Amino acid sequence: MYNSRITGLGKYLPETVVTNDDLSKMMDTNDAWIQERTGIKERRWIKQGSDDTSAIMGAKASEIAIERAGIDKDDIDFIVFATMTPDYYFPGCGVQIQDLLGLKNVGAIDIRNQCSGFIYALSVADQFIKTGMYKNVLVVGAEYHSNGLDKSTRGRGVTVIFGDGAGACIVSREEDNSKGILSTHLHSEGKYADKLIVEAPSIRHWVPEIMEAGEDDLSYFPHMDGTFVFKHAVVRFSEVIMEGLMKNGLQKDDIDMLIPHQANLRIAQFIQKKFGLSDDQVFNNIMKYGNTTAASVIIALTEAWEEGKVKEGDNVVLAAFGSGFTWGSAIIKW
Ligand code: UT7
């Protein structure tokens, strides 16, 4: 059994900043409500007319991760791409990355696990490295939400939360057994699928059906029962972090850095309090980027590392919860 380690990190955020005041010009919302309920001050949205998409942003983040890992792109053995906003219904973004980066004809899969997508993707890469099948796996999380949101007052409960962006990392075989990804923990509860969902277009609700329903049909915009999701999130986040700590014989006090999925600053603060962590033991950047779903954990991890907040020897905990429901954690000795 081999060990696996994150050897390179990269992120890409579109340039256009959309503030809460900008949103209040599109819909009935305001800066005070958004900041108080979510902690978000601004987010990035891809500018209309820009070439950026989930795959293209993912490729830009990947180039940085590959360079920082100090490997050649020909050393990449496999691609795992997590997104809930793929460029196309099919094929997935993973194959686009293979082409955009000019990689060898390596395998590529897409992970459809929304906010937990990056944790799931990391877990897949981790297994491929640990079994010895691959030496370097490119893991990408990228989202292009802004083109698919309801920007009228109707959609304000969801639209103010989501942002665009991408992150990527290289997971590599590590000879030193004292560091790397210690374990990952994945869960799902499909009976709550309708609590956070985009129903159409889908094979069940194809284009003619949407067009016939006309203006009143909202099925092609994200729907979220926010309060219900919030209540489940705080419970599942806590459970899955504890599960990861226990698996590795660690205590709450052993956490050096917790990087939660950036869903809502109030969720992160609840978890911080529950685990008795100080402000410098939890990394949040939702204030700047909003919720970038499958990209959020990897963007946050990259930024924490760039700011010197993730150091060699640290116990780093990643955790996420979201649509599905799905949730997961990863425990890493950096
Ligand atoms: O990332 C995947 C997982 N996602 C999450 O974990 C998200 C979890 N949920 C949440 O973060 C929160 O539930 C939200 C931020 C989405 C909503 O916050 P809330 O405190 O649960 O508010 P609410 O949905 O109960 O809405 C309260 C009020 C409502 O008005 P009334 O019925 O009390 O008159 C809403 O219509 O706030 C109104 N409202 C808004 N007002 C101004 C909803 N959205 C907005 C808005 N601006 N953008």
The answer, yes or no, to whether any atom of ligand 1 lies below 6 A from the CB of 263, is: yes
The answer, yes or no, to whether any atom of ligand 1 lies below 6 A from the CB of 320, is: no
Domain boundary assignment for the chain: 3-177, 181-333
pLDDT value of position 211: 85
**% of the chain exceeding 70 in pLDDT:** 99
CA–CA separation, 102 and 118 (whole Å)? 23
Ligand 1 atom, smallest distance to 160 CA: 48
The answer, yes or no, to whether any atom of ligand 1 lies below 6 A from the CB of 233, is: yes
Whether the pLDDT of residue 277 is over 90: the answer is yes
Q: In this structure, are residues 117 and 83 in contact, taking their beta carbons and an 8 Å threshold?
A: yes
pLDDT value of position 1: 85
Taking only the tens place, the pLDDT of each residue in 18-74 is 999 999 999 999 999 999 999 999 999 999 999 999 999 999 999 999 999 999 999
The overall average pLDDT reported for the chain is: 96
Span from the CA of 226 to the centroid of ligand 1 (angstroms): 6
Phi, psi of 333 (to 5 degrees): -95, 110
pLDDT value of position 208: 86
Whether the pLDDT of residue 177 is over 90: the answer is no
Q: In this structure, are residues 71 and 170 in contact, taking their beta carbons and an 8 Å threshold?
A: yes
Query: Can 3-177 and 181-333 be said to share one CATH topology?
Result: yes
Span from the CA of 157 to the centroid of ligand 1 (angstroms): 5
**The domain over range 181-333 is classified in CATH as 3.40.1360.10:** no
Residue nearest to atom 48 of ligand 1 (CA): 156
**Can you tell me the mean pLDDT for 188-214?**
91
Tokens of 39: 């902690």
SS3 (DSSP) at 30: coil
Maximum distance among all alpha carbons in the chain? 60
Whether the pLDDT of residue 219 is over 90: the answer is no
Q: How many CA atoms lie within 13 A of 241 on its CB side?
A: 29
CA–CA separation, 116 and 294 (whole Å)? 6
Residue found under tokens 């109707």 = 154
**The domain over range 3-177 is classified in CATH as 1.10.3720.10:** no
The answer, yes or no, to whether any atom of ligand 1 lies below 6 A from the CB of 66, is: no
Taking only the tens place, the pLDDT of each residue in 235-261 is 999 999 999 999 999 999 999 999 999
How would residue 179 be classed by pLDDT, with cut points 50, 70 and 90?
A: very high
The answer, yes or no, to whether any atom of ligand 1 lies below 6 A from the CB of 264, is: yes
CA–CA separation, 297 and 255 (whole Å)? 17
Taking only the tens place, the pLDDT of each residue in 151-168 is 999 999 999 999 999 999
**Can you tell me the mean pLDDT for 257-286?**
97
How would residue 214 be classed by pLDDT, with cut points 50, 70 and 90?
A: confident
Span from the CA of 19 to the centroid of ligand 1 (angstroms): 18
- Beta pairing partners, 172: 5, 136
Question: Is the pTM for the entire model greater than 0.95?
Answer: yes
pLDDT value of position 249: 97
* Angle (CA) 241 246 251, round 5°: 80
Active site residues: 115, 261, 291
Residue found under tokens 């499909």 = 190
